[in-house]
Structure 1
């Protein structure tokens, strides 16, 4: 029972008791007063009528007329005249009960008033005895009306006090509701603080909850920082802070093998010429600082892409790649312009920057991309000063935007999207759900998203594709009992209309919603915290599951994952490759799992290609695994 109901019940009981006491006291007091007045009236009226009769002739007609006249003009219930021997001479009665007064009330408050008695004389002898009882109906009616008025007043008071009490109670327990909301948020993997109220008792409770929440938050931040330091030592170059060669190429290979989207873009290598001469001219420390500034610009250039990365291949070479970037020359030009703007006139005169770019596609291998970019870099180094060279890819079947728009829209209208199936298994090797990446029938073949996604983004068709993916997934879920995870773009996450449509579609079908998993790229989704928080709110209401894919340690370090209520994250493939051989990688993954589990988030390893890595990953705390190794187990 709520406090508000308890308040109303308490007020009603108190007011009822007060009403009963007031009615009893006031009614009994009024009855005693009225009884006293009736007794006085009985005595006075009896004496007055007896005196009048004593002065009149004593014939029966005269006496009866006088008594009848007095009875009719006054308020009497009973008048009797008896002779000295006790025989009834004349009697008048009014048996009419009180109007509008219930019988039980009359019986409960019955008047016991002595009648007025007076003697009627006839000269010096006694003529008879007169007995007079006044009418009590008006007394009962007056008492009943008073009781009703008192009840109405108390009922109005009950309503007024109840409403006022509810209002005051609402203000008083508002901090308690905030504490309840805070506790529910903790249960939903969101750690929030609430302002302290003025009420001392609630203030102590809220302060304790806030301290607990802040303690958990600080603990998670410290663990996240520790993992970030471990990751930097394991995967990053000491001078520039970029990914080292092995980690960078692993990230690029994982991007090429990505089954969902983002596997087409541009790859650029920047070479600082005459690095030994620069080292002699400006010194080791200044050269390191110069390379760090160049690396910072490279990181900034790829930060706007969902799957891009920057790394140091060797002393003089910095490489970057970015998905969805179809023009590698323009990508290289923007990088060169940004670096020169950052260095300004302080750059050494003898330093020249040579850049080489090439596009990559889903059917490429890492070796093929590096071979093409090496050819372009050799041509760029032949040019004096800063230079840019590009090595093109094989010609795609559609040469311009109009052809791509037509191909995508026709394929979407004719065949719709298809959803592939890739199993995700849990620690018991049981099926957790199926990944269902999008496929589109283009050029006579079922193409993965990476084949057409850069053009879909450029042509603003991404939301249309996401709507089709969602509709197809819902249709397949309604006709089966499987669980599907679909990949949606950050553009759809940002679209308020899409989120509203998603809520309206799933609110009416909670059974289907409970088997739908939605995944968004970690980097892009976390860049829009308000929209991600709103989507997680919708997920809590309707029942579907929200997760982030391609997540790395920076997702835990740079963002407060406790504020959203996410259900799971998928660690990027470059983190888990060869985990059975590297103790440092094992320590990093174990820490990430501990951190995620402490806030109620499941951890899935994506892109697991070796069966030797599955069991070590499970032992480290991974909740699910997907990749070619899992496909071979389920085959």
Structure 2
């Protein structure tokens, strides 16, 4: 039994005992008063009757007539006359029933009044004595009425006392509940501060808990800052804070192989002309400032039509790269626009700083090395044209895409006919057992055609505002599959869907209609949502997690620890991006970063997964770093799931 229930039971018991005692004392005192009144009444009545009998001069007939009259007209239970010899000359008894008081009450509270006795004489001659006993029924009725009134009054006072006690208990319970909620939130990795109550004892508890939560929160933020520093040391160029060559190439390879990104895009190379001479003429500080300005321009440059996944990096001292996934129109003039933006930005530093831009487009599956070589050839042509020249790779033909209306019709037809299915890629734990299945959606755009990955139709689906309908279809297919075989499945959702109120309402209904499937469903969004849409993500997590759904981030680790109040997001799992975990077996910096990330996330607590692992040595290193689940080609070979 809870403490509050024990307190409530104790207070109720005390009040009931007090009520019963008060009513009992009231009844006892009232009964004593009534018995005293009856005794006095009996005595007075006996004296009056004796006086009347004495006036009859011993005439037995008249005395009997007088006694009979008194017995018939008076409210007596017994009238008795005993002569001087002790013989009962006259005796009359009558039974009276109570009008209001129940019989059990009369038995429970008996009223005994001593009979009134008076001597009867004729002058100096003693004739006998008269005994009178009044009825007690009316006394029981009065005792019942008085007790009922007292009970009602005391019950009202007791109810008021119980209400006040309940209010007091609630007042005490509220800060206790807040403290319990604070402790539960701490277990879940959320750091809540509670208001300090006015009760001194509870105030000290709240102060101690708030102090502990604040210290733990500062510790978490300190660890997050350390992990972010490890990430920068492992993957970023120190001067520009852009990914260095190795990390950029890993992310580019992941982008080219990620079916959730566009299957086409542009790779742009930027080269600072004669960097060594610029450094010698302007000095190190001015040159560093120019390079940082160039990097800031790459990061801040708007890329109309480009999808999420824009990458910028520093390949070496003078070379920078920018990858723009998206349809051909998104990057057709990207090289020239970037060159113009760099001219404007660098002119504020020095006219001596000159750059050239080369671009190459990829379409369909592509390898990072050949794509980089084609962009480098375009850059070489630009260097021969003068300052801030830009050239696109002429060797890659620009295939004209179907019109947007045609794409929209194909997508709409596929959705209406539900020509869709989920691919399945295993995610395994350390023992090789299935953690869950990653299930990207495939759409059959043309009847009888191939089921296309998201890279094929995602850009046009985004433009056509069909992503919420597509994501709902993916969730529906996943719930059906989970209901059929019971295996957990993960589905990726777009931020455009989460921001759609109709989508969240329909998703909630889907989950409510399939509670068994909901408990096996994993929903994930890209890491960037944690920074750009924190409140929306937190509200979405609060919506789906109570229904048994697990919620997490994919392709994470690049910016995750910059998110404010990450511990309040309500995550169940985080999947570290392949570009951050690849090569862990041979790179100490990568292992330090993964170990720090795993330790930090498990403290929330959050399950830590690694994406795209294709090497057994990397997998072993990641297990040692604290990763709890792995996906990728290597995981497919280790899975024990048939």
| Structure 2 stretches lacking a partner, 5+ long | none
Matched-pair contact (CA < 8 Å) for 2:46–2:118: yes
Relative to structure 2, which stretch is displaced further, 106-115 or 474-483?
106-115
Instruction: Give the Å deviation of 1:312.
Output: 0.9
Alignment of 1:515-594 (within 5 A): 515-552=520-557, 554-594=559-599
RMSD value, Cα: 2.8
Which residue of 2 is the match for residue 413 of structure 1? 416
Matched-pair contact (CA < 8 Å) for 1:117–1:131: yes
Q: Deviations over 1:382-403 (max 9, x none)?
A: 5455444444755557432112
Matched-pair contact (CA < 8 Å) for 1:562–1:599: yes
Instruction: Give the Å deviation of 1:506.
Output: 2.2
Alignment of 1:216-235 (within 5 A): 216-235=216-235
Relative to structure 2, which stretch is displaced further, 391-400 or 159-168?
391-400
Residue among 474, 479, 499 paired with 1:474: 479
Aligned to 1:319, the other structure's residue is in SS state strand
Which residue of 1 is the match for residue 315 of structure 2? 313
2:507 equivalent to 1:505: no
Give the distance between the partners of 1:622 and 1:534, measured in 2 at CA.
27
Matched-pair contact (CA < 8 Å) for 1:606–1:625: yes
Give the distance between the partners of 1:182 and 1:622, measured in 2 at CA.
28
Which residue of 2 is the match for residue 435 of structure 1? 438
Relative to structure 2, which stretch is displaced further, 100-109 or 305-314?
100-109
Q: 1:3 to 1:155 in 2, by over 3 A?
A: farther
Which residue of 2 is the match for residue 360 of structure 1? 362
Q: 1:633 to 1:46 in 2, by over 3 A?
A: closer
Aligned to 2:350, the other structure's residue is in SS state coil
2:296 equivalent to 1:296: yes
Which residue of 1 is the match for residue 138 of structure 2? 138
Give the distance between the partners of 1:251 and 1:538, measured in 2 at CA.
33
Aligned to 1:47, the other structure's residue is in SS state helix
Which residue of 1 is the match for residue 465 of structure 2? 460
Q: 1:574 to 1:537 in 2, by over 3 A?
A: same
Matched-pair contact (CA < 8 Å) for 1:189–1:564: no
Q: Deviations over 1:186-230 (max 9, x none)?
A: 232323222322222222222222233233222222222223222
Relative to structure 2, which stretch is displaced further, 562-571 or 186-195?
186-195
Aligned to 2:485, the other structure's residue is in SS state coil
Matched-pair contact (CA < 8 Å) for 1:477–1:512: yes
Q: Deviations over 1:503-538 (max 9, x none)?
A: 333245433222111111011244222222223323
Aligned to 1:21, the other structure's residue is in SS state helix
Aligned to 1:479, the other structure's residue is in SS state helix
Which residue of 2 is the match for residue 490 of structure 1? 495
Give the distance between the partners of 1:76 and 1:8, measured in 2 at CA.
51
TM score, norm. by length of structure 2: 0.91
Which residue of 1 is the match for residue 379 of structure 2? 377
Relative to structure 2, which stretch is displaced further, 175-184 or 353-362?
353-362
Q: 1:266 to 1:146 in 2, by over 3 A?
A: farther
Give the distance between the partners of 1:504 and 1:313, measured in 2 at CA.
49
Q: 1:545 to 1:334 in 2, by over 3 A?
A: farther
Give the distance between the partners of 1:379 and 1:500, measured in 2 at CA.
54
Give the distance between the partners of 1:482 and 1:148, measured in 2 at CA.
68
Instruction: Give the Å deviation of 1:487.
Output: 1.0
Aligned to 2:490, the other structure's residue is in SS state strand
TM score, norm. by length of structure 1: 0.92
Give the distance between the partners of 1:264 and 1:230, measured in 2 at CA.
32
Give the distance between the partners of 2:171 and 2:300, measured in 1 at CA.
49
Alignment of 1:317-328 (within 5 A): 317-324=319-326, 326=328, 327-328=330-331
2:93 equivalent to 1:88: no
Instruction: Give the Å deviation of 1:302.
Output: 7.5
Which residue of 2 is the match for residue 241 of structure 1? 241
Give the distance between the partners of 2:440 and 2:482, measured in 1 at CA.
15
Aligned to 1:16, the other structure's residue is in SS state helix
Aligned to 1:531, the other structure's residue is in SS state helix
Matched-pair contact (CA < 8 Å) for 2:8–2:169: no
2:599 equivalent to 1:597: no
Instruction: Give the Å deviation of 1:564.
Output: 2.3
Instruction: Give the Å deviation of 1:243.
Output: 0.8
Instruction: Give the Å deviation of 1:445.
Output: 1.9
Residue among 608, 611, 624 paired with 2:629: 624
Alignment of 1:92-171 (within 5 A): 92-122=92-122, 125-171=125-171
Give the distance between the partners of 2:340 and 2:64, measured in 1 at CA.
131
Aligned to 2:443, the other structure's residue is in SS state strand
Matched-pair contact (CA < 8 Å) for 1:611–1:630: no
Return structure 1 stretches of 4+ with deviation > 6 angstroms. Answer: none
Matched-pair contact (CA < 8 Å) for 2:121–2:127: yes
Q: Deviations over 1:118-150 (max 9, x none)?
A: 233345544442211122112112222222222
| Structure 1 stretches lacking a partner, 5+ long | none
Q: 1:375 to 1:459 in 2, by over 3 A?
A: farther
Instruction: Give the Å deviation of 1:627.
Output: 1.1
Q: 1:614 to 1:8 in 2, by over 3 A?
A: closer
Q: What is the total number of aligned residue pairs between the two structures?
A: 634
